[in-house]
Structure 1
Amino acid sequence: MDKNFSTRSMIFTIYGDYIRHYGNVIWIGSLIKLLEAFGHNEQAVRAAVSRMSKQGWLKSEKRGNKSYYFLTEQGVARMKEASKRIYKEPTPPWEGKWWILVYTIPEEKRHLRDKLREELVWSGFGLLSNSCWITPNDLEDEMTRMIKKYEIEDYVSYFQATYKGMQTNEELVKKCWDLDEINERYAQFIEQYSQKYVIDKSKINKNEISDSSCFVKSAWLVHQYRKFLFIDPSLPDELLPEKWLGDSATSLFKDYNNILSKPAKRFFESIFELGELIEQ
């Protein structure tokens, strides 16, 4: 198993693809059981859940002597944003406007500056110049959420503008993002998963693969594809190069995930419902 396939990352995946669609709350015993399928033990799950709670992603509640965990408002917002980008919801044509965010966070709040940079990159912003970030996407809600989260209202300003410089919008994109590198990563994803998709599709059609294996494969696929959220700014089609592989990678991901989803969902529900029965 990939050493980067951490317990915390797996919990995010399960909440994003399953738990939030089942009332957003799960008994810790069910979560432990689900993570066993990936080789994560109880101690690792409890430690990861504790860290995620301290970081503001999860909250817990007691029902009798059992602990249940659910996504916080911050966690739900992040999952919705991630899902929108992972499953590529249709977007309207680009209107040629750029969002610009600038900040002057003082040195004594440097830790907040570092966290804000991480979130800006994750959301798809590109660094145009020192402390000046841009995106062609309407991320006003995301910007507002970040600013409130870190309580930096006094240090951040953002605008919407039209680029009137001497270069083209495409040349502006090249300054902020390395699309060639991202395209190469998409090519690697396609090469790695095309054959696996064909093999697993055949196995599923012949009932030669278990529900639990499909659950693991589906979560692993989402985990790998989700890495593109940290490097692909999800630019409008008008700003992408002619030979862009992102769409092909997305189609492969969706097709592969679709064949895994039904048996994977059956496995999740069997564990989730077991937890509900134990509660009663």
Structure 2
Amino acid sequence: MSRALTAILDHVRAEPSRTWSIIVTIYGDAIVPRGGSVWLGTLSAFFRALDISDGVVRTAMSRLASDGWLERTKVGRNSYYRLAEKGRETFQQATSHIYSQNAPAWAGHFDMLLAENGARGALEAAGFGSPAPGVWIAPGGVPVPVEADGALRLRAGGDDAANRALAARAWALEATGEAYARFLDAFSPLRAAVLGGQTLSDLDCLVGRVLLIHEYRRIVLRDPILPAEVLPADWPGAAARALCAEVYGALLEGSERWLDENAVDESGAPLPPSDEVWRRFKG
């Protein structure tokens, strides 16, 4: 394994990640586009490259199945798992945020809602932030969820400094920015390696791809993806996305080749490749 990948593994081990969380990432990123069901042995081979034992993987898979994230099928002595509806819906909702996010155009103001606490979850999911209890804001024009239809609606805003200050109160931008900075520090050596011509094995390409998306996903899903006009001047989100797109593209061919040769379904047939993955980060 390359030195850059070893350093990333050390970074992942230092974070509060769990094997089950990486399993969800590999399914959403690599297995679902190929049909969604894969042999447990395929996953075990992948996790051995991360120095995670077969027993730990089996335990994590069983936990995910018990919690309704995975469904298991037995064929002889072999087990095959696919994402259950709960898992498919969760990753489908996250897909555009991860691979093709676009900040809304800045309308020059925020839409402000005075809403009951019962709408909190729906408002957060829709991208609204809260600068004060019961007060919710989003860049002007962001759709309001039906759960907040009865809320009083106002416009809010000021000059550039006031808008940035309001955004900083409504969303945890400082913590998210710091997470992006750590992501850039952790994955910049891998970008230098792959774009500098260093050759990785196909399995190492898949390891790098999955860990890249695993770490990026954990940050971007809590990023409200705001217009640049209301973000801090030194916001690292765009640089993190550019790095992610470059490294993902460089690792895609090798990682897909490993899946072509090693990922099989209940019939023993290779999982069919999907054109979807080649369109990621293009929009």
Question: Which category describes the TM-score, using the shorter chain as reference length?
Answer: 0.7 to 0.9
The structure 2 residue matched to 1:226, chosen from 217, 221, 224, is: 217
CA distance in 1, matches of 2:195, 2:67: 39
Please state if 1:60 is matched with 2:72.
Answer: yes
CA distance in 2, matches of 1:158, 1:42: 50
Q: Which residue of 2 aligns with 1:109?
A: none
Please state if 1:191 is matched with 2:185.
Answer: yes
Q: In 2 relative to 1, CA 88–162 (structure 1 residues): closer, same or farther, beyond 3 Å?
A: farther
The structure 1 residue matched to 2:196, chosen from 193, 202, 210, is: 202
Report the AA paired with residue 164 of structure 1: R
CA distance in 1, matches of 2:115, 2:63: 31
The SS at the match of 2:263 is helix
Matches within 5 A, 1:55-94: 55-90=67-102, 92-94=104-106
The structure 2 residue matched to 1:247, chosen from 231, 238, 241, is: 238
How many percent identity over aligned positions?
Answer: 29
| 1:156-206, Cα deviation, whole Å (9 max, x unpaired) | 6556775335766544322212324433332333333333311232344xx
| 1:118-149, Cα deviation, whole Å (9 max, x unpaired) | x9768755344446655448576xx78xxxxx
| 1:70-124, Cα deviation, whole Å (9 max, x unpaired) | 212221122122221122334552555648595557xxxxxxx9xx86x976875
User: Contact between 1:122 and 1:230, CA under 8 Å: does it hold in 2?
Assistant: no
Alignment coverage as a number of residue pairs:
253
- Structure 1: 5+ residue stretches without partners: 106-112, 145-155
Q: In 2 relative to 1, CA 202–44 (structure 1 residues): closer, same or farther, beyond 3 Å?
A: same
Report the AA paired with residue 176 of structure 1: A
Matches within 5 A, 1:113-128: 124-128=127-131
Report the AA paired with residue 129 of structure 2: G
Q: Which residue of 2 aligns with 1:214?
A: 205
The SS at the match of 2:217 is helix
CA distance in 1, matches of 2:226, 2:170: 12
CA distance in 1, matches of 2:150, 2:207: 43
The SS at the match of 1:56 is coil
Please state if 1:18 is matched with 2:30.
Answer: yes
CA distance in 1, matches of 2:227, 2:188: 26
CA distance in 1, matches of 2:136, 2:244: 30
Please state if 1:177 is matched with 2:171.
Answer: yes
| 1:15-73, Cα deviation, whole Å (9 max, x unpaired) | 11111101111122222222222122222112212222233222223445543222122
User: Contact between 1:218 and 1:264, CA under 8 Å: does it hold in 2?
Assistant: yes
Report the TM-score, using the length of structure 1 for normalisation: 0.73
Report the TM-score, using the length of structure 2 for normalisation: 0.72
Please state if 1:34 is matched with 2:28.
Answer: no
User: Contact between 2:104 and 2:226, CA under 8 Å: does it hold in 1?
Assistant: no
User: Contact between 2:113 and 2:154, CA under 8 Å: does it hold in 1?
Assistant: no
The SS at the match of 2:155 is coil
Q: Which residue of 2 aligns with 1:110?
A: none
The SS at the match of 1:86 is helix
CA distance in 1, matches of 2:223, 2:53: 33
**CA-atom RMSD, angstroms?**
3.5
